Amino acid sequence: NAGVMQNPRHLVRRRGQEARLRCSPMKGHSHVYWYRQLPEEGLKFMVYLQKENIIDESGMPKERFSAEFPKEGPSILRIQQVVRGDSAAYFCASSLGQPDQPQHFGDGTRLSIL
């Protein structure tokens, strides 16, 4: 399966712990986007990365959230000291980078904070 792979599918953390969400883009794609979906809402853009570069992080909360896309390996969205309000579905998408090319989405990671 050459689609976008996200893991884990479900992640449970207690308040104050760290959450790490992983995303392997579709084969041949070097552009990754992270979106967050709160219950009953649409997806909200968080960050756009290319290999080893953060291009646009205008949707990322100023504190506790970070993202990376190293030269080797998956993209990682990291949430430190999680709080209840971080509970959401986090989707990763990848593309070829051209705006006319659709983004292909992973199945998402559902993060639950106890």
Which positions touch other proteins (CB under 8 A)? 31, 33, 35, 41-45, 48, 55-56, 89, 91, 93, 95, 97-105, 107-108, 110
* Planar angle of CA 38, 84, 18, nearest 5 degrees: 100
Tell me how far apart the alpha carbons of residues 106 and 93 are, in angstroms, rounded to a whole number. Answer: 6
Name which of 19, 27, 74, 86 is nearest 49 in CA terms. 74
CB of 12 to other proteins, least distance (A): 17
Q: Which is nearer to other proteins, 64 or 104 (CB)?
A: 104
Q: Which is nearer to other proteins, 25 or 108 (CB)?
A: 108
